[in-house]
Structure 1
Amino acid sequence: MLTLLSIQDVVLIEKLDLVFHPGFTALTGETGAGKSILLDSLGLVLGDRATSGVIRAGASEARITASFDLPEGHPTFDILSEQDIPVEAGEPLILRRVITSDGRSRAWVNDQSVAVTLLRRLGGLLSEIQGQHAQIGLMEAGTHRDLLDVSGGLTGQREAVASAYGLWKAAEAALHTARQNMAELGREEEWLRHAADELGQLAPQADEEALLAQQRHVLQGNERRGEAVAAALSDLLPRDRRSTGPSQAIRSASRALQRLVPPAGEPEQSDPMQAVTGEALAALDAAGLALAEAEELLSRLVVECEADPRLLEQTEERLFALRTAARKYNTTVDGLAELLEQYRERLSLIETGSFRLEELEQHLLETRSAYIQEAERLSAARKLAGARLEKSVVSEFRPLHLEKARFFVSLEPLPEESWNAGGTDQCVFLLAANPGQPPGPIGKVASGGELSRLLLALRLVLAGASPVQTLIFDEIDAGVGGATAAAIGERLHRLAGSIQVMAVTHSPQVAAAADHHLHIGKMTSGGATRTTAALLSSEARLEEIARMLAGDTVTEEARAAARRLLNHQG
């Protein structure tokens, strides 16, 4: 509900801060005091079109702020969530709008800048203004079906239709996608078969690239080691019989030095070189032994490091073939196996696609039939609910001076292309305002106070069916008085038991039925006229209703009559 309306520099309003309460609030005041300006200001903050003409003379811009308290689960929270505007249940929703002198405007929701279109979306869920020149909400035929369903207790059946509709449309989308896929697969079937055959012959395996690269690295290392060992061994061994290797050279040197050693049995001569010769022979013997050991070790290494050149060649051919295929098919080597599986699956779809399409087509027929059955049940329930709604609304007409009017709930089938989650029919509220007049949309066959009274009757019957929390009537009592005005006041008060109601009124009977009374006035100071507003106390309210009864001169008789009206309502 609306809790606060702050208006600054709008036409005659310099600054007003109005606090509103639950229940029924009457707004009264002399003609021209600014009641319509107040309602226009509320309309602006709810998204109405704005021009620079609304700015008070001498001001650079107009500012309007409205604060609303919302019940938990109100649809406004869904819209705010879509827009990433955080609002917790129990916290106020604050709308703000600024209109500048160039006709432009800016809007905020809880201090977050938004488009004016968002204000309009929110406004349609927060408040409705029913008046002489502007009616929204119930005037919009697009809301009538939803209102009928909620008021008729058809929410469960409506949800069943929505669920069936979702399944039907999902089946429709699945069939459409399958047909598109089949057409695409048909165009690329030849290429798919070639690619699948080529990759199938290659037979790529998962993680094969890493294994082949590791094997190649090992084989290349073995080859390099084998070459190094063979080279070392070739340096130790003679290349041919005419060549002298290190072993042979050591043996020859040893034999040559042996000649310097005296034969066994001969007495040793005192020769200082004899000792050196012995050491040399010992060194040559040790070198021979070490060389022989080195030859043996190198020979063993040659055997152990002997590489298989064919295996390395095969490994490299396989690795290069996989990498070439990966480049060709724009994937990685590790992705080739998965790609092959995808190609085979797509080929399988081509082969089995016709059967799959038949299944999807049958499923589509079944879901469509199920939706139609649910929609027909809902349509039948709507006809019964519509008849009850007609009777209930018409029962409110006589006290509201609409006894000649007739109200109809029209249900018409929609063309199939317009079927939706709400069903296969549309609902429009029609009115025949006078006998002999054909029924038509309520906004085209009634006007002014007559239309406002009709909408009041509808609201009484549809209480709770709309998410709107604040309902405002502008001069709903126009052209009526006496018992009719009293009936209007009583019904506004009754309606305020379930929704916040405000009414701009010139009727003392209507004003006396209110829970709260707001007086709109104007004052002139310094050559400028300004609108004022005040919530009336009990005594001030008595005086205002007496003025409404008597005119400019308030008499004791008028006060007594005002007191009787207030006491009667109490």
Structure 2
Amino acid sequence: MLLQLNIQNFAIVRSLDIDWQQGMTTITGETGAGKSIAIDALGLCLGDRAITNVVRPNCKKAELAATFDVSKNPQVLHWLNQHDLHSDNECILRRVISAEGRSKAYINGSQVPLAQLKEVGQLLINIHGQHDHQLITKALEQRNILDQYANHDDLLENVKHYYNKYKELTKEYDLLLESKTQREAKQQLLQYQVNELNEFSVQQGEFETLEIEYKKQSNGQHILNESLQALQILSNDENYNIVDQLRKVEDQLTNLSLLDKTLQPLTEQINSSLIQVEDAASELTHYYERLELDPQNYQVIEERYSQIIQLAKKHQISPDKLYELHQQLNTELQQMTMDESRLTSVADEIEQTKITYQQAAEQLSTSRKSSANKLSQLISASMNELNMPHGKFAINVNYSSTEKISSSGTDNVEFLVSLNPGQALEAMNKVASGGELSRISLAMQVILSAKVITPTLIFDEVDVGISGPTASMVGKKLQQLSQSTQVICVTHLPQVASKGRQQLFVAKLTDGEHTETTVTELTENGRVQEIARLLAGDKITDNSLANAQELLAG
């Protein structure tokens, strides 16, 4: 429930602290005094859009803070914990608005996005404005009211789920269909390219291997000649070769090291070099003996090597990238084939999803029709109590399987009303006056509020156009509602104001230069005076005082 509202430099309020009680609180005051100022401030604490003229003239900023007791509100406690904003059993919503219109929002001292104020605010307060009765003539609002009463969120969510799935599938299908012609042309080219590469069947790393063999074969005679010449120099020349010369040097150093031991390391080094040269000569001999000039093999290698180069040139890539291109094109072709298959599959999925959607929409429609009958009876009974003795109310729910699907089903929901004996049920906006609509709206709000529990309900002059016995019944209904929920009601009716457990009086003070709104909690005697004023106007009489006392006693 709402515990406290603090307002600083807001509109024509300089500073204001309001402590709220359980049960029903009524707010009264003279016309133009700003009876709705507290409701406007609360609205900003709950995330309403701020405008520049909300800041009191000559002030830099307005500050608004609303404190709620959430100890018995598990939804809010869960939400606060989820967002790491928990603080004992209180929730403090704060809004700071600069004179330039910039705004900052806070929950329990932590700055938050404005959207979070709106989220948590919906779990704390439900505000019914003085023009809400005009909304109930709109088809969308009528369906929303029925859904609130039915409380079938799971059915609504189910319909919404299949609707979103249907939209996603149709979007995918349209994209696939749109690119079908372009895809078919590209697919033909891809198929030709892949077939050509499949037939050639280049292997990973094949070009690099071919390039090595091609260079070797094309330079075969030169390699033979140069290898033979190197062998001659190393070991095969009878007149002079490196191996023989190193052996001579080794023999000489070996003999000298007998005379001078310091030459022994050098002798060992020469010996090591001799071994390495002899090994190299042996390896070169084996290499030379294995060398073969095979014209036929060379022709095969040369042809394959040239084909790869030509095919790579055709695709404007380097030859060593041909294998990767083959894999890439093959993947693209497979994807296109899958897209064709997907087009058929998506079409089937769309039809199946539409069937499932219709089943979910039928279940929702059945629930709406059942709740519509119950709600119609309750509102009809409430209309009779609110001085519409011949009033009848009905909710018409028309399900259509051919209606364009939406996220809320395919029902057309229409509120019908009859106010006079023998009068046929007709659309509300055709037969109900503003005052009658206001009473019907209030009846709905009271019924819905009892069904969908919100810790605090605010009624901002919803009793406009109501008077006499009807006003008394409205007051009793609001008082009855306040037994389970905190009710705050801005009113001009003494019959409603008298039903409050707490009554606040709004006044506008001015010294000719400055204007200020004040809010005062009335004492018992103050309530008698204010109720008498509402009954009689500015001239309070003994009769009006007696009537006021009688209303408060009732």
The answer (yes or no) to whether the contact 2:10–2:55 under 8 Å persists in 1 is yes
> Equivalent residue for 2:28?
28
Q: Mark the runs of 5 or more structure 1 residues left unpaired by the alignment.
A: 253-274, 280-288
What amino acid is the match of 1:148? L
Match of 2:145 in 1: 147
Seq. identity, %: 28
Q: Aligned pair 1:12/2:1, yes or no?
A: no
Aligned 8 A contact 1:204 1:336 in 2: no
Change (3 A) 1:246 1:170: closer
Query: 1:116-144 CA deviation, whole Å, 9 max, x = no partner?
Result: x9978887776555454566875764343
The CA distance in 2 between the partners of 1:388 and 1:58, in whole Å, is 55
Q: Could you tell me how far apart the structure 1 residues matched to 2:103 and 2:525 are? A: 42
TM-score (norm 2): 0.70
Q: Distance in 2 between matches of 1:331 and 1:13?
A: 81
Counterpart residue identity of residue 331, structure 2 = Q
Partner of 1:456: 442
8 Å CA contact 1:107–1:119 kept in 2: the answer is no
Contact 2:235 2:281 in 1 (8 A): no
The one-character-per-residue Cα deviations of 1:145-174 (angstroms, maximum 9, x if unpaired) are 233134235444434433443454454345
Q: CA RMSD in A?
A: 5.5
Residue among 329, 342, 353 paired with 2:331: 342
Q: Pairwise mapping of residues 221-370 of structure 1 onto structure 2 (< 5 A)?
A: 233-237=231-235, 244-245=240-241, 297-305=279-287, 328=317, 336=325, 338-346=327-335, 348-349=337-338, 353=340, 357-370=343-356
SS of the residue 1:452 aligns to:
helix
Decide whether aligned partners of structure 1 residues 294 and 373 sit closer, same or farther in structure 2, where only a CA change above 3 A counts. Answer: closer
Rounded to whole Å, the distance in 1 between the matches of 2:225 and 2:498 is 115
Moved more, 456-465 or 179-188: 179-188
8 Å contact from structure 1 (residues 164, 367) kept in 2: yes
**Does residue 391 of structure 1 match 2:377?**
yes
TM-score normalised by length of structure 1: 0.69
Partner-residue secondary structure (3-state), 1:397: helix
Q: 2 CA distance for matches of 1:490 and 1:91?
A: 31
For residue 517 of structure 1, the aligned residue among 498, 503, 510 is 503
| Inter-CA distance 231–167: structure 2 relative to 1 (3 Å threshold) | same
Contact (CA 8 Å) 1:387, 1:409: kept in 2 or not? Answer: yes
**Quick check: 464-473 or 305-314, which moved more?**
305-314
Q: Which secondary structure does the structure 2 equivalent of 1:14 belong to?
A: strand
Matched, 1:94 2:93: yes
Match of 1:491 in 2: 477
Shift of 1:27: 0.9
Structure showing greater Rg? 1
Give the match's secondary structure for 1:509. helix
Q: Tell me the SS of whatever aligns to 1:35.
A: coil
2:405 aligned residue (419, 422, 427): 419
Residue 424 (structure 1) shift: 0.7
Measured after TM superposition, the shift of residue 391 of structure 1 is 1.6
Task: Give the whole-Å Cα distance in 1 for the aligned partners of 2:438 and 2:233.
Answer: 118
C-alpha displacement at 1:35, in angstroms?
Answer: 0.8
Structure 2 segments unaligned to the other structure (5+ residues): 249-254, 260-270
Shift of 1:326: 9.7
SS state at 1:462 partner? helix
Q: Return the match for 2:189 from 191, 197, 208.
A: 191
Task: Give the match for residue 284 of structure 1.
Answer: none
Instruction: Determine the C-alpha separation between the residues in 1 that align with 2:453 and 2:197.
Output: 62
Deviation at 1:338, TM superposition (A): 4.7
Q: Which residue of 1 aligns with 2:264?
A: none
Question: Aligned pair in 2 of structure 1 residues 510, 419: CA closer, same or farther (>3 Å)?
Answer: same
